Amino acid sequence: MSRIIKLRKGLNISLKGSAEKILGKVPMSETYAVKPSDFPGLTPRLCVKQGDEVKAGTPVFFDKNADKIKFVSPVSGVVEAINRGERRKLLEVVIKPDAEQVSEKYEITADLSESREQIIELITKSGNWSFIKQRPYGIIANPNDKPKSIFISGFDTAPLLFDIDFVLSEQQQYFQKGIDVLGKLTDGKVHLGVDVNDFASCLNNIKNAEITLFSGKHPAGNVGVQIHHIDPVNKGDIVWTVDAQHVAMLGRFFSTGVYDAHKIIALCGSKVKRAQYYRIITGAKITAFSDLIDHDGSVRYISGNVLTGTAVNKDGYMGFYANRLSVIPEGDKYEFLGWAAPRLSKFSASKSYFSWLTPNKLYDLDTNLNGGERAFVVSNQYEKVLPMDIYPVYLLKAIFAENIDKMEQLGIYEVIEEDLALCEFVCTSKIQVQAMLRKGIELMIKEMS
Amino acid sequence: MKFLHRFINKIKPSFEKGGKFSKLHSVFEGFETFLFVPNTVTAQGVHIRDCVDLKRIMSVVVFALMPCLLFGMWNTGYQHFRSVGLVQNPADAVQSFWTIFWFGFWKVLPIIVVSYVVGLGVEFTAAQIRGHEINEGFLVSGMLIPLIMPADIPLWMVALATIFAVVIGKEVFGGTGMNIWNPALLARAFIFFSYPSQISGDKVWIAGLTEGTGVIDGFSGATPLAIATGGTGDTAASMTVESLQQQLPSIYDMFMGFIPGSIGETSKLAILLGAIVLLITGVGSWRIMLATVIGALGVGYLCNLFAANPYMALPPYYHLLMGGFAFGAVFMATDPVTASQTNTGKWIYGLLLGMIIVVIRIFNPAYPEGVMLAILLMNTFAPLIDYYVVGANINRRLKRAKAKS
């Protein structure tokens, strides 16, 4: 019997436009992009130029500080553009796919008899290493480290459901293979967190992983919260984390030897006409979904979920780690005496509004800030939505003061932006918690290296 | 509302940089955002935001203060007419309800106006100098200040105290959210120490009593706390706790608030209504309120056990009904900025606060009321309490790391 961990703190935000459990097809995008900005802390070095022909799995850039780690083209085709921003910062490598897709192939034994070094070599060379992130800091793992354990969250609790069980249902053998591969990378355990209510989940049959059942509201599905309760990150510890779908993709690579960037995403949000799941190739241009979205008025397209995702343009690209394309209305309008109004159609974790009386209602929230930025005033607001033994406000104040020792003492190694995203959502003072935290993490990386 | 919005947009340019009234930019922005929640959208981080903001939180507190304010106005009139012999008890007052209320209304309104005008004036100026948006904090302080003043307080004193509270109590630290002491209490402390005769004694609590015209013979304006102080020191020898209880107003009168005292503090019923609003909305901390009550009752019981004089023998619940205890525990101690901010800290803060209030009341005859001083003292120590609570968290983390290695 697996261990059950009950989390009381947290907050579920029920939004309109959850994806139905139907897998749809969209035509191939006109272009695909690989974006360095998807990988925090990365300094990219290009290895293709405009007009080059690439296969799916051909490196397009690598990490300047760890040249083993390659970032590869998701499709075969021609490098159409290399877009740069201010000071020639590399923004995206755009690839136009061929009609006929060819992929890089690798020799892999069927019984996984390779050594740890050979496996790491295979993963880095093939461009699959970017699946593996590390705690602390939430950056791509260093292949030279040996993590004390590896964590995978088997459920996603962020707003607008992304059902990992549904997504993995046809890839269970690949997921198992991925777990086996990860098991070779650590001397510790591979941990898999599963929603206690998901007893039918295919993840419950997975072997070679320590399954822990979680019950609770968002962010119970965040891998950081699960690490905190199972095997917390102390100073000097390194833990690796992999997104569940990426585990299956890793397993698929080790089963077939072929680089394959197909993944399933949920198209969701109140501005979507038919919210359901779609199979795409990583880095797809979102214009592929254009017909499925209601573009009336101003609309925000988010690669990822509404709490942690990245806003993209109407013709932008899906992020590398994004499992959702969330489309919601922009909130760029004025509201007369809004702060005094009953606001029955808006959602608040505060009981000064009435949404706590209608817990089953679905809300159509826009992107309005609903107020102005202020100093911290209300206390105990962040703690209510963070199921970790951490004082987030004190941590943020330490970051603000750039006090490295205090940041370390108050637990900066244990959190990344997604863990504090709800704190930012509920904040009365409208403080930009995630941006502040990333600033602190960047400072830690700089000072500790 | 389109018309109003068009008007605002029309005059907006003259308040922006380079405009005719650019010096009033913060004030304009303050009024604009008061009328219309701006169209600002989330730029980075979360894409959706909770619809709560500081304006909402502050207006909930002001709303919760309304029962105290309305009752306070009525009671100001009632106490006055009682002193001149026109009414004897609340039942008499039913017929002349509006006369009584209007008397109090005109007595209290100027204090509120002075408090808001002066306080917001300082606040606007400070925001403009710093180029900040105007903070909503004073909306609450501006209402609290009148409610903890005696009805007969000279208006210039209110103005002076408000300036002191906002400038020294808040703005020098960086404005709302940065202050150490509760600004409203600081205003009261300022008057208490600068003009003690205006805010202590038996006469100041009832409108017109200091002047003394028409006051009936033998009328005393003493507050319950002043009477209770009689149960200590030299006067205590000739007294038993029963005779002290007889001198004090009835439990019913003290609960309902038909007693002299600061404008908003007398009615425990009105305060209770406000407390319910704060607790349901979660704006006020139930931990602090409960801990303060437990702390006061605890010391009250201890004093009963070792009663050396009638005041010490007074049943502990009297402390909840006398003076500003209830008002302080519900509206002052729970100020999120100046109270402890950790949950454990809130318990410690509240318990100590309740204990110190009763200790000051009983053992320091110089100050019949201990609430103001106790809260200001605990405000001072709140960061220290939090420091140790957070320190415990740091130690847990260190211990965990050691246990592993």
DSSP string, A150-161: EEEE--B-SSS-
3-state helix, strand, coil in chain B (%, to 5): 65, 0, 35
Contact A319, A310 (CB under 8 A): yes
Instruction: From A374, A411, A372, select the one nearest A394 (Cα to Cα).
Output: A411
Q: B381 in a domain, yes or no?
A: yes
**Residue B229, CA distances (Å) to B191, B312, B313, B363 in order:** 22, 10, 12, 9
**A412-416, B51-55, B222-226: lowest mean pLDDT where?**
B222-226
| CA–CA gap between residue B200 and residue B205 (Å, rounded) | 8
Token digits for B342? Answer: 């950790």
Nearest Cα residue to B394 out of A376, A234, A439:
A234
CB contact under 8 A, B50 and A309: no
Q: How far is the C-alpha of A370 from the C-alpha of A359, rounded, in Å?
A: 21
For residues B341 and B247, membership in a common domain is answered with yes
Which has the closest alpha carbon to A175: A145, A139, A131, A140? Answer: A131
In sequence order, what are the beta bridge partners of A95?
A: A32, A79
Q: Is position B138 within any domain?
A: yes
**Which chain A residues are Cβ-neighbours of B335 within 8 angstroms?**
none
Cross-chain residue pair B55–A309, CB shorter than 8 Å: no
Residues B187 and B283 in one domain: no
Domain limits for position B238:
231-403
Check CB contact of B189 with chain A, cutoff 8 Å: no
Mean pLDDT, range B99-110, rounded to an integer: 93
Has residue B217 got a pLDDT over 90?
A: no
What pTM value is reported for the model?
Answer: 0.92
Q: % helix / strand / coil in chain A, to the nearest 5?
A: 25, 25, 45
Residues B82 and B186 in one domain: yes
**Burial class of residue A443, CB neighbours in 10 A (0-12, 13-18, 19+):** middle
Q: What are the φ/ψ torsions at residue B401 (nearest 5 degrees)? A: -65, -40
Q: To the nearest whole number, what is the mean pLDDT of chain B?
A: 88
Residues B86 and B174 in one domain: yes
Helix, strand or coil for residue B403?
A: helix
Is the separation of the CB atoms in B349 and B385 below 8 Å?
A: yes
Number of domains in chain B: 2
Q: CB within 8 A of B115, min separation 6: which ones?
A: B142, B143, B145, B146, B158, B162
Q: What integer pLDDT is reported at residue A226 of this predicted model?
A: 97
Residues 6+ apart with CB under 8 A from B181: B169, B338, B376, B379, B380
| pLDDT value of position A1 | 65
Question: What span, in angstroms and rounded, lies between the C-alpha atoms of A175 and A255?
Answer: 10
Q: Are residues B240 and B343 in the same domain?
A: yes
Nearest CA in chain B to A340: B56
ipTM of the complex: 0.93
Contact B5 A336 (CB under 8 A): yes
Q: Model confidence at B130, in pLDDT bands (50, 70, 90)?
A: confident
Distance CA A19, CA A77 (A): 31
Is residue B154 reached through a cis peptide bond, with omega within 30 degrees of 0 on the bond before it?
no
Q: Which residue has the higher pLDDT, B137 or A420?
A: A420
Are residues B342 and B295 located together in one domain of the fold? Answer: yes
Same domain, B257 and B127: no
Does B399 touch chain A if contact means CB atoms closer than 8 Å?
Answer: no
Taking CA–CA distances from B396, the nearest residue in chain A reads A389
What is the predicted pLDDT for the residue at B52?
92
pLDDT for the residue B31: 81
- Residue B405 pLDDT greater than 70, yes or no: no
pLDDT in tens, A37-95: 999 989 999 999 999 999 999 999 999 999 899 999 999 999 999 999 999 999 999 99
Residue B40 counted as domain residue: no
Taking CB atoms and an 8 Å cutoff, what residues of chain A touch B337?
Answer: 377
Interval A152-163 mean pLDDT = 94
Tokens in use for B146?
A: 């009148």
Instruction: Record the tokens describing residue B273, joined without a space.
Output: 């209504």
Which of B178, B199, B220 delimits the end of a domain?
B199
CB A339 within 8 A of CB A307: no
The residues, ordered by sequence, that sit 6+ positions from B221 with a Cβ below 8 Å of its Cβ are B79, B83, B202, B203, B204, B205, B206, B209, B260
Query: What CATH architecture does domain A3-9+107-256 belong to?
Result: 3-Layer(aba) Sandwich (3.40)
CA atoms of B55 and A369, how far apart (whole Å): 13
CB contact under 8 A, B35 and A411: no
Whose CA is closest to A235, among B391, B387, B394, B390? B394
Neighbours of A449 (CB within 10 A): 6
A78, A53 Cβ separation under 8 angstroms: yes
Look at the domain A32-104 and name its fold.
Answer: OB fold (Dihydrolipoamide Acetyltransferase, E2P) (2.40.50)
Q: B176 at the A interface (CB within 8 A)? A: yes
User: What residues have CB less than 8 Å from B282, skipping those under 6 apart?
Assistant: A350, A351, A352
Using alpha carbons, list the distances in angstroms from residue A190 to A164, A230, A241, A252: 18, 11, 10, 18
Give the HSE-up count for residue A364: Cα atoms under 13 Å, Cβ half-sphere: 8
CB contact under 8 A, B36 and A348: no
What one-character-per-residue DSSP string does A381-403 give? SSGGG--SS--HHHHHHHHHTT-
Looking at residue B286, its amino acid is: W
Percent of chain A with pLDDT over 90: 82
Residues B180 and B245 both lie in one domain: no
Mutate: best of B50, B280, B334, B400, partner A, most A CBs <10 A: B50
Nearest to A391 among B43, B44, B342 (CB): B342
Q: What's the pLDDT tens digit per position in A22-37?
A: 999 888 999 999 999 9
Angle at B204 between CA B202 and CA B209, to 5 degrees: 90
Confidence band (pLDDT; 50, 70, 90) for B7?
confident
Residue B223 to residue A61: CA distance in whole angstroms: 80
Q: Which of A308, A343, A375 minimises the CB distance to B175?
A: A375
Nearest to A336 among B1, B48, B282 (CB): B1
Residue B35 lies in a domain: no
Q: Which residues of B touch A425 (CB under 8 A)?
A: 46, 48-50
Question: Is B71 among the domain residues?
Answer: yes
Both B236 and B359 in one domain: the answer is yes
**Could you tell me if B265 and B163 lie in one domain?**
no
Asked if B45 and A235 come within 8 Å (Cβ–Cβ), the reply is no
Average pLDDT over residues B154-169: 93
**Tokens 């006055």, residue located:** B80
Residue of B47, B51, B390 with shortest CB distance to A306: B47
pLDDT tens per residue, range A105-147: 998 887 888 899 999 999 999 999 999 999 999 999 999 999 9
* Mean pLDDT, residues B356-380: 90
Chain B residue with minimum CA distance to A333: B39
B42 neighbourhood in chain A, CB within 8 Å? 367-369
- Under the banding of pLDDT at 50, 70 and 90, the label for residue A427 is very high
Question: Residues 6 or more apart from A2 whose CB is under 8 A from it?
Answer: A194, A211, A212, A213
Q: Residue B266 in contact with residue B260, Cβ under 8 Å?
A: yes
Chains A–B, number of C-beta pairs less than 8 Å apart: 208
Residue (of A302, A316, A232) closest to A270 by Cα position:
A302
Query: Is it the case that residue B365 has pLDDT exceeding 80?
Result: no
Would the CATH topology of A3-9+107-256 be identical to that of A32-104? no
B390 to chain A, any CB pair closer than 8 A? The answer is yes
Evaluate whether residue B127 is within a structural domain.
yes
Average pLDDT of span A198-207: 83
Burial track A70-106 (b if 16+ CB lie within 10 A, e otherwise): bbbbbbbbebbebeeeeeeebbbbbbebbeeebbbee
Tell me the two tokens of residue A18: 């959850």
With CA atoms as reference, the chain B residue closest to A422 would be: B46
B129 three-class SS: helix
Tell me if A370 and B280 make a contact (CB, 8 A cut-off): no
B280 and B341 together in one domain: yes
Neighbours of B106 (CB within 10 A): 13
Indicate whether B127 and B247 sit together in one domain: no
Other Cβ atoms less than 10 A from the Cβ of A345: the count is 11
Domain map (residue ranges) of chain A: 3-9+107-256, 32-104, 369-449
